[in-house]
Structure 1
Amino acid sequence: MPADLNDFFKKRKDEEEGSNMPEFMKDFGKKATYIYVIIVLVILLIIAKPYEIINSGEVGIKVTAGKYDPIPLEPGIHFYIPGIQKIIKVDTKVRIINYKAEKEAPSFGALREGIIEKPAIEVLDARGLPVSIDITVQYKLNPQGAPQTIATWGLTWEEKIINAVVREVVRNVVGRYKAEELPIKRNEIAKLIESQIREKISSLPNKPVTLVAVQLREISLPPKIKEQIERVQIAKQEAERVKYEVERARQEAEKRAALARGEAEAKKIKAQGEADRIMIEAKAQAQANIVIGKSITPELLQLKQIEVQGKFNEALKANKDAKIFLTPGGAVPNIWVDTKDKQKATSVGR
């Protein structure tokens, strides 16, 4: 049989067998290529991960062939081309740098939930004595200018902006004072440090960072200065105690003097009242005497003489041997009648 005839029958047989296949098998064969392509793409997406999810409190910066896109990516899912592009996520929430002593912060430089711990800032005072300053700085990255900030300062922008400025300002401000002045002028120093840090950060191009707060927590002085300050404080306390005692004694003296003045014034008022009473009584008696003197008339005297003469006559009638004594005094004399029997002596008065 010729070869072309064999091919004809074979082809016809294959067509007959294919016509007996189920319809879904025929469709699967046609779509298999597309399914394989989709599966491969999914696997590539999983392996290459050409996307990034931006969370709230963050912004994304898309970098294409080393060039930073000036528009930050908002929270959500964003795709990029692996190998050509990448997305950098930066935190825009409030962050904190704590500068404090080693004994309180063993893991300096470690980042914990937006908190960076660093050693206390060592400063030399106006006389060159070492002083340690504990301070807390709160700040946050400006979201809109984040791409420009990262492009200019890099991912270590906190070290170059916040840390550098804080250390410079603290050293400049504290270095103006003597160590023993620092505790006394603490509030003044804290205000100067905060105002100068704000001024320096605000003056940076494009205002990359917003300063939230600066808190001066502790000033650690050299042991000798501490002892000197303690001695001064003890002396001041003693002086205040003495001053208090002196003031208390003065007040007690004033109180006693006031009481004495009060008693003297009371006695004076009493004596004045007694004198006034005597004077009033004397005046009244004198007035009475004047009235009585004015009331004695010749007729009244004559009447009194008659009364006395009557009593004299009565006495003679009772005892003819009686001795009569006239005691002058006033308008009417006293008359004493003395009998031989002294027990019967009588007195005739006016």
Structure 2
Amino acid sequence: METEKVVDMIPKNPKNLKKIFVFSFIIFIVILLIFNSFVIVDAGNRGVVTQLGAVQDRVLNEGLHFKIPFIQEIIPMEVRVQKEQTEQTAASKDLQVVTTTVAVNFHLNPDIVNKLYQQVGMSYKERIVAPAIGESLKAVTAQYTAEELISKRQEVSTKVKETLAKKLATYYMQLDEINITEFKFSDEYNQAIEQKQIAEQQALKAKLDLQRVEIEAKQKIEQAKAEAESLKLQKQEVTKELIELRKIEAQMEAIKKWDGKLPNVTGGSVPFIDVNGLQK
């Protein structure tokens, strides 16, 4: 039988092995450099460039960009509209405790996000936005009474927006809109408001009742005046001929009711019929 020959795959020359190792390492480094030489900034973001930890003036727009491998780093920062909703407690002009729920829409200034990152970092909501909302609400709330905060809600919202916009602009952010969704007052104040409304309703009812009584009284006075005027006119129109006519009408009415018999007992008033007068 022939002995099987085992093929040795390992190069017998150590120099060739070293060359293969070096070549593979170089290929790996090249691939690594290629992959680390490009970065993609997603839509709605900007890229902050840092070089060995130092923030650069250049800001990358959306898309594919070249960077120096292992030296430069790209930090993405969202420039879309962001929302921050919070509850803030403040005191009104009449020293009522007011808890305000407000929703704020804002966005980062795309051209200078590098400055925001350099001065504040990524936690700008906690460090800047939330405190600025609280300060703005307290400053504006103190200018109005609790009742005015409700009746002048739009005016209050406008002032808060103006104040907050200035504070955010200091840190390279732009305010889009704010919405005050709710005002909450203490239980004592709510009870006082309820009692005030009840009192106003009762006062209104009393006023309406008084007006109704006054109107009815005036109507009665006018009615009495009209009746008196009517009687006055009737008296002015009474003449001798009218009196005679009324007598004749009364006698005619008596004739219609008479049954032709004279009463057996006389002592009361018996209707007198003037026949001659009738003939005339």
Q: Do the two structures share a fold, i.e. TM-score over 0.5? A: yes
Instruction: Indicate whether 1:196 and 2:196 are aligned.
Output: no
Candidates 41, 44, 66, aligned match of 2:32 = 44
Distance of aligned partners of 1:172 and 1:264 in 2 relative to their CA distance in 1, 3 Å threshold: same
Partner of 1:231: 195
Distance of aligned partners of 1:62 and 1:257 in 2 relative to their CA distance in 1, 3 Å threshold: farther
2:109 aligned partner, one-letter code: N
> How far did 1:94 drift?
0.8
Q: Give the count of matched residue pairs.
A: 219
Q: Distance in 2 between matches of 1:77 and 1:143?
A: 17
Partner of 1:283: none
Partner of 1:142: 109
> How far did 1:135 drift?
0.7
Q: Distance in 1 between matches of 2:79 and 2:50?
A: 18
Partner of 1:63: 50
Q: Distance in 2 between matches of 1:148 and 1:165?
A: 19
Give the match's secondary structure for 2:101. Answer: strand
Partner of 1:151: 118
Per-residue CA distance 1:157-212 (angstroms, 9 max, x = gap) = 2333322221112122223455565434544433332222223334x2xx711111
**TM-score, normalised by the number of residues in structure 1:** 0.51
Q: Distance in 1 between matches of 2:173 and 2:56?
A: 19
2:111 aligned partner, one-letter code: Q
Per-residue CA distance 1:97-145 (angstroms, 9 max, x = gap) = 111xxxxxxxxxxxxxxxxxxxx11224457654321111111111112
2:50–2:73 Cα contact (<8 Å) kept: yes
Q: Distance in 2 between matches of 1:73 and 1:63?
A: 11
> How far did 1:92 drift?
0.9
Partner of 1:122: 89
Give the match's secondary structure for 1:56. Answer: coil
Partner of 2:99: 132
**Cα RMSD over matched residues?**
3.8
Per-residue CA distance 1:234-254 (angstroms, 9 max, x = gap) = 211222233333344545556
> How far did 1:38 drift?
9.4
Instruction: Indicate whether 1:215 and 2:179 are aligned.
Output: yes
> How far did 1:258 drift?
6.6
Instruction: Indicate whether 1:245 and 2:233 are aligned.
Output: no
5+ residue gaps in structure 2?
1-19, 240-280
2:44–2:78 Cα contact (<8 Å) kept: yes
1:179–1:225 Cα contact (<8 Å) kept: no
Q: Distance in 1 between matches of 2:78 and 2:70?
A: 24
Q: Which moved more, 1:221-230 or 1:122-131?
A: 122-131
Q: Distance in 2 between matches of 1:126 and 1:177?
A: 5
> How far did 1:54 drift?
1.5
Identity across matched positions, percent: 27
Distance of aligned partners of 1:259 and 1:43 in 2 relative to their CA distance in 1, 3 Å threshold: farther
> How far did 1:257 drift?
6.2
Distance of aligned partners of 1:263 and 1:74 in 2 relative to their CA distance in 1, 3 Å threshold: farther
Q: Distance in 2 between matches of 1:138 and 1:260?
A: 71
2:45–2:80 Cα contact (<8 Å) kept: yes
Partner of 2:137: 170
Candidates 66, 83, 91, aligned match of 2:78 = 91
1:227 aligned partner, one-letter code: Q
1:294-309 counterparts in 2 under 5 A?
none
> How far did 1:256 drift?
6.4
Q: Distance in 2 between matches of 1:78 and 1:237?
A: 71
> How far did 1:37 drift?
8.7
Distance of aligned partners of 1:132 and 1:64 in 2 relative to their CA distance in 1, 3 Å threshold: same
5+ residue gaps in structure 1?
1-31, 100-119, 279-350
2:66 aligned partner, one-letter code: F
Greater RCO (Cα-Cα under 8 Å, separation 6 or more): 2
1:238 aligned partner, one-letter code: Q
**TM-score, normalised by the number of residues in structure 2:** 0.62
Q: Distance in 1 between matches of 2:118 and 2:65?
A: 20
Partner of 2:40: 53
